[in-house]
Chains A and B, each alone.
Chain A
Amino acid sequence: MTDEPVASQQDGWVRLHPLTPLLRGGRFALLLVAVVGQQTLRDSPAEAVLAVLVLGVPLGALGLWIAWRALRYRVTPTELQVESGVLVRRSRRVPLARVQAVDVVRPFYARVLGLAELRLEVVGASAAEAPLAFLAEDRAVALRSALLDLAAGRQAPVEGAPPPVPDRVLVQVPTGPLVWSTLLGTPLVTAAAVLVALLVLLVLEPAEAGTPLLLGLPALLGVGSLAVRRVLAEYGFTVAESPDGLRLRHGLLDTRSQTIPPGRVQAVRIREPLLWRRLGWVRVEVDVAGYSGRGDEQDATGALLPVAPRQLALDLVARVLGAPLPAADRPAPPAARWRAPLQHPRLAVGMDDRHLVATSGVLTTTTDVAPLAKVQSLRVTQGPYERALGLATLHVDTAGRRLPGAAVPHRGRSEAGELLDEVAARARKARTAG
C-alpha cells in the first residue's frame, strides 16, 4: 500500500499512510478506556458507559481521519514543507540545510503493519519537530535518503532509481556485553546496594523497615525499568557507514535508525565507569545540534557505542571525527588538588589543530572531545575558592543538546588564559578551513 497522492494537486503533495489514524487511535483508545474505567468505578448505569463508547469511538475515529486527511507534505530542493491542522491550519517549512540528523523509528506496533516514522533533528527549531508518522517503511527509507541527499547538496534520486548502496557495517554490539555492562553500570549497582541494605534492614529490624521500604521500592523499580528500557533500546546496536553519513541502528521492540550526516557531530563523550575498567569497556556518546523537547527522546540514547572495548571505541571515534584524538597530556596543576582532591589524578587536557580533549571524573573517567571547528563560544569562570587558589576553569561550548561541550576545570590562572587564547586561535583556523 503506497501513500495516497493528494488527488486535487499535482505539484508533489503527499499524504501519510492511510493506516495512520488506526495507529494514532491507539492512544485515543487508551484514553477512552481510562474514561470508561472511571465511569464503571462510580457504578454508573451500564447505559452511560455504553453511551460513552458508542459516541466516543466513532467521534474519535472521525477526528483522527480528518486530521490524517488534512496533513500533507512535500519535498522541494531546499525545504521540507508540511501542512497540517484542521481548525488551525499550520504550515511548516523546514530548510533542509539545517537538518542535523534523520531518524527512521519503527515502534513495535507500527513495525507489525510495515510502517515507520520519520524524525528530523533540525538546528534552530524553537519547538519539537512533529515527526512524519506514519509512512510505509520503504517510503520512509527513500524519503530519508532524499532528504539527506538534498541537505548535502546532492541531487535527489528519481523514483525507480537503482537501489541505494548498502551500508558498510563498522561495529556491531553483541547482546552479552550489552546486558553485562548495564548490570555493572552505576545506576544498577547502586540500586542493588540499596536493595541489599533494605533487605538487611528487613531481617534485623522488621518493625522499622516499613517506611524505608515504602520509599525505596518504587525508586528501585524506577531504576530497574530504566535499565530494561535502555537495554531494549540499544539491543543489536550496529554502527554502519553509508553515503548519507553515519548510520546507527538499534532497538528490539522499537527499532530506530539514526543517520548523522558527516560534519554534524558537535561533541563526543567517552565514559569509563569504575566497574567497567577491569573489562576494558567504555561507552561512547555523540551529540548533534538541534532541539528536542519530546519526552520519549530518551529512547534515542545518544550513544555512538553503548559498550565496546576501549581501543575499538577510540578507532571508531577517530573515524567519525576524521582524525585520531590527541592525547590529554597536560595534567592539572598541584593547586587543583585542594579544590578537587578526588578528581585531580584524572584531570587533563590536550589538543591539536582539530580537537580538544579533556578528561575528568571521580569514579567514572569521562573524556570530552570538542571538535574545534564546532566551538560556539569559550568561557573562563572562577569561583571564590578557585580565586584563592589561583585557579580558573575553561569551558568550551558546542551546539549539542545533551553534551554541552568540554570543560577544563581548575587550571592555573595564566594557564587558563593561555589555553583560552590557544583554543580561540585554533578554533578560528579550523572554522575557516572547514
Chain B
Amino acid sequence: MTEQPEAVWRRPDPALLRLRRRLATGIVSLPLALASLWLLVRQGPAAAAAALALAVVLSGLLQVAVQRRYAAWGYLEREDDLLVRRGVLVRRTSVVPYGRMQYVDVTAGPLARRYGLATVTLHTAAAATDASVPGLREDEAARLRDRLAALGEARQAGV
C-alpha cells in the first residue's frame, strides 16, 4: 500500500523547490563564498581555494538534498483516507481517515506567501498525527482544506 504507483501521488508546487533552492543558496552558499573571499585576503590563495572547494561541495550536496526532499513529498486523496508521505533519510507515510480529522490548518509564512504557497496540516485527536503538506498553491490548499473539512464532517466518528 505504501507501494502506490508514482504517478498517482500529488506533489507540492514546483515553486516550493525554487523557494528552497534559493534559501539554501542564500543561507549556505553565499556566506561560504564570502568566507572564502575573506580568507583570500587574510590567509592567501591556498586557504581560499580550499574553502571555495569546500563551499562548492557543500552547496552541491545541499542542493541535492533539497531536491530529493522535495521529490519525496507527496499526498494522495483516497476514498476513505488521506495519504501523506515525506522524508528522505527517514521515510514516513501517514494514513489519516477522513472521519478522524478534527481540524485542518492552512498556514503560510512570509516567504511562502511571496511565492503564493501554503502548508496544509491535518489534526486528529492523537498528538502523534503528523500529516502536513507544504508548498501547495493557495487555491489548491483552499480546495484541499474545504474538501477535507467536508469529508471529515460527513464521516465524523466520536472519539
Q: Does A61 contact B (CB under 8 A)?
A: no
Query: Chain A contacts of B157 at CB under 8 A?
Result: 431-432, 434
Name the residue on B nearest A432 (C-beta).
Answer: B157
Q: Does B102 contact A (CB under 8 A)?
A: yes
Please determine whether A427 and B97 come into contact, CB atoms closer than 8 angstroms. Answer: yes
Query: Chain B contacts of A244 at CB under 8 A?
Result: none
Q: Does B1 contact A (CB under 8 A)?
A: yes
Query: Chain A contacts of B1 at CB under 8 A?
Result: 417-418, 420-421, 424
| Option from B2, B97, B125 in Cβ contact (under 8 Å) with A123 | B125
Q: Does B96 contact A (CB under 8 A)?
A: yes
Q: Considering the chains assembled together, what is the distance between the CA atoms of A395 and B129 in angstroms?
A: 10
Name the residue on A nearest B89 (C-beta).
Answer: A384
Describe B's contact surface by its main secondary structure: loop
Q: Does A92 contact B (CB under 8 A)?
A: no
Interface residues of A in 359-393 (CB under 8 A from B): 374-384, 387, 392
**Given A377-B124, A380-B92, are A397 and B2 also a contact pair (CB < 8 Å)?**
no
Smallest beta-carbon distance B124→chain A, Å? 4
Q: Considering the chains assembled together, what is the distance between the CA atoms of A405 and B130 in angstroms?
A: 14
Smallest beta-carbon distance A377→chain B, Å? 4
Please determine whether A377 and B89 come into contact, CB atoms closer than 8 angstroms. Answer: no
Q: Considering the chains assembled together, what is the distance between the CA atoms of A424 and B98 in angstroms?
A: 12
Q: Does B119 contact A (CB under 8 A)?
A: no
Q: Does B159 contact A (CB under 8 A)?
A: yes
**Given A379-B92, A421-B1, are A399 and B159 also a contact pair (CB < 8 Å)?**
yes
Q: Does B3 contact A (CB under 8 A)?
A: yes
Please determine whether A399 and B91 come into contact, CB atoms closer than 8 angstroms. Answer: no
Q: Does B27 contact A (CB under 8 A)?
A: no
Interface residues of A in 411-434 (CB under 8 A from B): 414, 416-418, 420-421, 424, 427-428, 431-432, 434
Smallest beta-carbon distance A406→chain B, Å? 11
Interface residues of A in 161-215 (CB under 8 A from B): none
Please determine whether A404 and B127 come into contact, CB atoms closer than 8 angstroms. Answer: yes
Interface string of B1-32 (1 = CB under 8 A from A): 11100000000000000000000000000000
Query: Chain B contacts of A381 at CB under 8 A?
Result: 90-93
Q: Does A239 contact B (CB under 8 A)?
A: no
Q: Does A124 contact B (CB under 8 A)?
A: yes
Query: Chain A contacts of B125 at CB under 8 A?
Result: 123-124, 289, 376, 399
Q: Considering the chains assembled together, what is the distance between the CA atoms of A427 and B159 in angstroms?
A: 13
Please determine whether A420 and B130 come into contact, CB atoms closer than 8 angstroms. Answer: no
Q: Does B137 contact A (CB under 8 A)?
A: no
Query: Chain B contacts of A414 at CB under 8 A?
Result: 3
**Given A404-B128, A417-B2, are A383 and B89 also a contact pair (CB < 8 Å)?**
yes
Please determine whether B89 and A379 come into contact, CB atoms closer than 8 angstroms. Answer: no
Describe A's contact surface by its main secondary structure: mixed
Smallest beta-carbon distance B4→chain A, Å? 10
Interface string of B40-74 (1 = CB under 8 A from A): 00000000000000000000000000000000000
Interface residues of B in 101-159 (CB under 8 A from A): 102, 124-131, 157-159
Smallest beta-carbon distance A286→chain B, Å? 15
| Option from A97, A377, A434 in Cβ contact (under 8 Å) with B100 | A377
Q: Considering the chains assembled together, what is the distance between the CA atoms of A420 and B81 in angstroms?
A: 12
Interface size on A, residues (CB 8 A): 39
Query: Chain A contacts of B80 at CB under 8 A?
Result: 424, 428
Q: Considering the chains assembled together, what is the distance between the CA atoms of A107 and B158 in angstroms?
A: 33
For B99, B130, B131, B159, the residue with the greatest tally of chain A CB atoms inside 10 Å of its CB is B159
| Option from A377, A383, A400 in Cβ contact (under 8 Å) with B95 | A377
| Option from A376, A380, A432 in Cβ contact (under 8 Å) with B93 | A380
Name the residue on A nearest B124 (C-beta).
Answer: A376
Query: Chain B contacts of A382 at CB under 8 A?
Result: 90-92
Please determine whether B2 and A428 come into contact, CB atoms closer than 8 angstroms. Answer: no
Name the residue on B nearest A374 (C-beta).
Answer: B159
Name the residue on A nearest B94 (C-beta).
Answer: A379
**Given A404-B128, A420-B1, are A383 and B159 also a contact pair (CB < 8 Å)?**
no
Query: Chain A contacts of B89 at CB under 8 A?
Result: 383-384
Q: Does A398 contact B (CB under 8 A)?
A: yes
Please determine whether B91 and A398 come into contact, CB atoms closer than 8 angstroms. Answer: no
Q: Considering the chains assembled together, what is the distance between the CA atoms of A194 and B42 in angstroms?
A: 55
Please determine whether B97 and A431 come into contact, CB atoms closer than 8 angstroms. Answer: yes
Please determine whether B126 and A399 come into contact, CB atoms closer than 8 angstroms. Answer: yes
Please determine whether B129 and A377 come into contact, CB atoms closer than 8 angstroms. Answer: yes
Of all A-B residue pairs in the complex, the 4 with the closest CB atoms, nearest first, are A399-B125, A376-B126, A397-B126, A376-B124
26 chain-A/chain-B pairs, Cβ below 8 angstroms: A266-B159, A376-B96, A376-B125, A376-B126, A377-B95, A377-B96, A377-B124, A377-B129, A378-B94, A379-B129, A380-B2, A381-B91, A381-B92, A382-B90, A382-B92, A383-B90, A387-B91, A397-B124, A397-B128, A399-B125, A399-B126, A399-B159, A417-B1, A420-B2, A424-B80, A428-B97
Binding site for B on A (CB under 8 A): 97-98, 100, 123-124, 266, 289, 374-384, 387, 392, 395, 397-400, 404-405, 414, 416-418, 420-421, 424, 427-428, 431-432, 434
